[in-house]
Amino acid sequence: MRRRLFTAASLLALTPLALAADVFSVGEKQAANWHAIIMFMFFVALTLGITYSAATRTKSTADFYTAGGGITAFQNGLAIAGDYMSAATLLGLSAMVFAQGYDGYIYLLCFFAGWPIILFLMAERLRNLGRFTFSDITAYRLDQGKVRTMAALSSLTVVCFYLIAQMVGAGQLIKLLFGLDYKLAIFAVGILMMAYVAFGGMVATTWVQIIKACMLLFGGTLVVFLAMSIFGFSFTKVLGKAMAVHTLGDKLMHPGSLLADPLTAISLGLGLMFGAAGLPHILMRFFTVSDAKEARKSVLYASGFVAYFFNIIFLMGLTGILIVGQNPDFFENGAIGGKLIGGGNMLAMHLAKAVGGNLLLGFLAAVAFATILAVVSGLAMAGASAISHDIYAHVIKKGQISERAEIRVSRIATIALGSIAIILGIAFEKQNIAFMVGLAFGIAAAANFPVLILSMYWKGLTTRGALWGGYGGLLSAVVFVLLSKSVWVDVLGFAAPLFPYTQPALFAMPIAFLLAFIFSQSDHSVRASQEKEAFADQYIRAQTGLGAVSAAGH
Amino acid sequence: MYERVRANPKFQQLVTRRRHFAWTLAIIVLLLFYGFVMVVAFSPAALGQPIAADSKITWGIAVVLFMFIFFWLLAAGYVYRANAEFDALTQEVLREAWQEQK
């Protein structure tokens, strides 16, 4: 059944990003889309203008890393939601509803469910304890040099893999939507990203994300509004008609093959839930608001936008079944039920064209480009701060460094990361990179999250335990992904995977927790008992914000 | 300063109340979500049943939509209580600690 857009494996490949990287590789270069290019140029001009004004105001490290803590809860909520609603979410998940029906809706819920948990258990403590990077929290009462090095290394690993996956996906998507050459697309993304981050720092990065989130919410809503108007805004009518024409028939709204196996289901749920809570570019957003109250409110806004948008995506997929799925113009050789022109992930784009013509198609394509740009900028920002703030300022210089010098190092790090991203993006053009996103989420969930949550909640965590837990989680996540289908079979060419699940979280996370526990408990050094004593004061700061870094005067 | 905060019974009150509330909500979310995942894994047919005999809407759609809305309402409930009650308590604890210092 070739028409199935996703193989079982890529369905379980945990993030729509993986789907994007996977599916766009089949897309072919289209004729230049001028509507899209002109609208995208507007976006670039606007965001570069913001970057310029941000650059003139960025003076301290706080300005650079966290926009001086001056982002409001509403703005930050939009930015967090923006980080979460990627191009791949829009394209991959609407296509999934189109092809699989109800499974797509379940998948959307899995993506959403982690947010309330982050709010209840993490948001306030993150803001009260952190300053610029999440390593500030893990290293709070532990050995600065060793723990920061560990946290920065796993952050950088996550950032690099995620960045490569995004760059390759971006190149292919832009080639498809805009009719630009792959290399040109990679250079455009890389250079704009460097400009935003190096000059505008967190202020520019956040505003790029906010503008894009608004464009995405507006574009998605408009498409669904126009599509639903065809059916008199009757959900029941759409559902009934969709069941009548879809190959799945009445089974369209039944759970399908996606979560048939409970272990896969739990592993996926864990990976998506805690992966998000360990991604450095998301964690960093908690430090851009003035206090714990604003952090709390920003998660509420963010989860509201995400919940709304995910339901919009569900409706896009459903109406797409009727509007795109029944129109021969959108299929190769005009064969309804065959392959969609441009590949399976083009559903949202075709739907936009069907209900709003070339103008709406151009707008949505520009949104998709803006989305990629915003996400890679956030990643570069997180990577640059791990290099300059954690490794250079704290590990190499032991905190003896001027703010100007630290910002300069961040800028150099951004240029370096951007160049690496461009080179690797071009090098990996034809490679199968689906595993990289799995790896990024796996490492985030297994290396970053356990040590972070233990450092906030468990008095007994010592440097030794944190290092074992962190490195153990990192290593086991890498090994499990290496042995899973996406690398062992798809890249290395072996017949069967040694590790049957694509998402390593269910297994790598307990390993990290266990190692951190055992090696903390068995640590009887003087240093360890001092670290345990220091928890009392850390706990008061976490609970009350006493001593927390407040917003810089703006 | 930290010592005085710790000694303040209001601080203990704040911590205990917030912990109970946050964990209760978190456990509700986790139970509902993983309960749902278990139903998907073990009894998928149940979710395919229509909510009314002549309706096209299935229990599966209704349950997922309910969770989207309910989880968000829980989050809103947490933020509402934290903004009012917990923040007021925190301010009181901090103010009292500062006053004692003077």
Give the pLDDT confidence of A179-236 residue by residue, as tens digits. Answer: 888 999 899 999 999 999 999 999 999 999 999 999 999 999 999 999 999 999 999 9
Q: Is the pLDDT of residue A351 over 90?
A: yes
Q: Is the pLDDT of residue B32 over 50?
A: yes
Residue A356 CA to residue A360 CA, distance in Å, equals 5
* Per-residue confidence (pLDDT) for residue B52, from 0 to 100: 84
From A441, A469, A473, select the one nearest A138 (Cα to Cα). A469
Q: Do the Cβ atoms of A236 and B56 come within 8 Å?
A: yes
Q: Do the Cβ atoms of A265 and B41 come within 8 Å?
A: yes
* Per-residue confidence (pLDDT) for residue A274, from 0 to 100: 82
Q: Do the Cβ atoms of B47 and A113 come within 8 Å?
A: no
Structure tokens at A224: 């669904």
Classify A547 as helix, strand or coil: coil
Q: Is the pLDDT of residue B34 over 60?
A: yes
pLDDT-wise least confident of A220-229, A317-326, A339-348: A339-348
From A476, A552, A463, A420, select the one nearest A61 (Cα to Cα). A552
What is the torsion angle, in degrees rounded to the nearest 10, for the CA atoms of residue A44, residue A47, residue A48 and residue A53? Answer: 170
Q: What is the pLDDT of residues A375-397, one digit of tens each?
A: 999 999 999 999 999 999 999 98
Buried b vs exposed e over A44-62: b needs ≥16 C-beta within 10 Å? beebbebbeebbeebeebb
From A284, A293, A19, select the one nearest A165 (Cα to Cα). A19
Q: Does A548 contact chain B (CB < 8 Å)? A: no
Q: Is the pLDDT of residue A491 over 70?
A: yes
Distance from CA of B97 to the nearest CA of A (A): 10
Q: Do the Cβ atoms of A119 and B75 come within 8 Å?
A: yes
Q: Is the pLDDT of residue A153 over 80?
A: yes
Of A117 and B1, the structure prediction assigns the larger pLDDT to A117
- Per-residue confidence band for A434, with pLDDT thresholds at 50, 70 and 90: low
- Per-residue confidence band for A550, with pLDDT thresholds at 50, 70 and 90: low
Q: Do the Cβ atoms of A546 and B5 come within 8 Å?
A: yes
Q: Does A253 contact chain B (CB < 8 Å)? A: yes
* Per-residue confidence (pLDDT) for residue A552, from 0 to 100: 44
Contacts of B15 in chain A (CB under 8 A): 543
Q: Do the Cβ atoms of A546 and B1 come within 8 Å?
A: yes
Mean of the pLDDT values across residues A432-437? Answer: 72
Structure tokens at A321: 């079944």
Distance from CA of A103 to the nearest CA of B (A): 10
Q: Is the pLDDT of residue A60 over 80?
A: yes
Q: Do the Cβ atoms of B79 and A243 come within 8 Å?
A: no
pLDDT-wise least confident of A115-129, A475-489, A507-521: A475-489
Q: Do the Cβ atoms of A265 and B14 come within 8 Å?
A: no
Q: What is the ipTM of this complex?
A: 0.94
Please give the single-letter amino acid code of residue B40: V
- What mean pLDDT value characterizes chain B? 90
DSSP string, A76-95: HHHHHHHHHS-HHIIIIIHH
- What mean pLDDT value characterizes chain A? 86
* Per-residue confidence (pLDDT) for residue A227, from 0 to 100: 96
Mean of the pLDDT values across residues A146-160? Answer: 93
Q: Which of A108, A536, A545 sits opposite B6 (nearest CB)?
A: A536
* Per-residue confidence (pLDDT) for residue A30, from 0 to 100: 64
- Using CA coordinates, name the residue in chain B closest to A254: B48
Residue B102 CA to residue B98 CA, distance in Å, equals 7
Q: Do the Cβ atoms of A113 and B67 come within 8 Å?
A: yes
Contact (CB, 8 A) for A126 and A136: no
Residue A351 CA to residue A315 CA, distance in Å, equals 11
Mean of the pLDDT values across residues A497-516? Answer: 88
* Per-residue confidence (pLDDT) for residue B25, from 0 to 100: 96
Contacts of B69 in chain A (CB under 8 A): 307
Distance from CA of B8 to the nearest CA of A (A): 11
* Per-residue confidence (pLDDT) for residue A7, from 0 to 100: 33
Contacts of A119 in chain B (CB under 8 A): 75, 78-79
Count CB pairs under 8 A between chains A and B.
142
Q: Residue A453's Cα: distance from chain center in Å?
A: 20
Q: What is the pLDDT of residues A68-114, one digit of tens each?
A: 888 999 999 999 999 888 877 888 889 989 988 998 898 889 889 88
Percent of chain A with pLDDT over 70: 92
